[in-house]
Homo-oligomer: A and B are copies of this chain.
Amino acid sequence: MESLVLHEDARSGNCYKIRLTAALLGQALERVSYDIIRGETRTPEFLSQINANGRIPVLQIGDRYLPESNAACFYLAEGSALIPQDRFDRADMLRWMFFEQYNHEPNIATLRFWLLYVGERNLTELQRHQLLPKRMAGDDALTVMDRHLADHAWLVGTSVTLADIVLYAYTHIAEAGGFRLRDYAHICAWLDRVQALPGYVSMD
């Protein structure tokens, strides 16, 4: 099997998704750290060799590089129970993974980054004007999840899939972005189910 190297910043939930997927599968990952706040993923070397899009995580598989956290999780989980065998369920898992990158991460992860790492007093005027719209859109995303989880133990089918793993990553730390998880009872119960999975590893 080819060596697996995760190029990451450990503070990023997108990087954590990949570590959690690998841990649940019992796969070893070598880790190389970058400080995104110091611009270490925007250097000419990083852009030319690792990811022209200037972002982490990137999963290195042998001498090939795979950007995009959810694509990396899919690569790792192929052939495992984390990807459903049923054709509809497999597409439905991807549905939640696209929802995560479109409706959830740009609101919930971005507010955490701004409030926890940039600092509210350092935000630009445009960022300050986006605080409320992103709060509302993030609460909309959490509401869609909470209603679904009201009568489903997992997002797709009857056992854990990548849909749960990738949405868990930024949901379980959403309070650092100012969201009140206690308002979402079904999400809280689902977070507990993820944390009870054999092989689960925490973010830090």
Contacts and interface: CB of A to CB of B under 8 A. Distances in A.
Dominant secondary structure at the A interface? helix
A161 to B, nearest CB: 13
Interface residues of A, number: 37
Contact of A94 (B74, B95, B144): B74
Given A69-B98, A78-B90, A98-B101, 18 more contacts: A53-B99, A53-B103, A61-B88, A64-B88, A66-B88, A68-B95, A68-B99, A70-B98, A71-B95, A72-B91, A74-B90, A74-B94, A75-B88, A101-B102, A102-B102, A102-B106, A126-B130, A126-B133
15 contacts: A52-B147, A52-B148, A53-B144, A66-B88, A66-B92, A68-B94, A68-B98, A68-B102, A69-B98, A70-B98, A71-B94, A71-B97, A71-B98, A98-B98, A129-B129
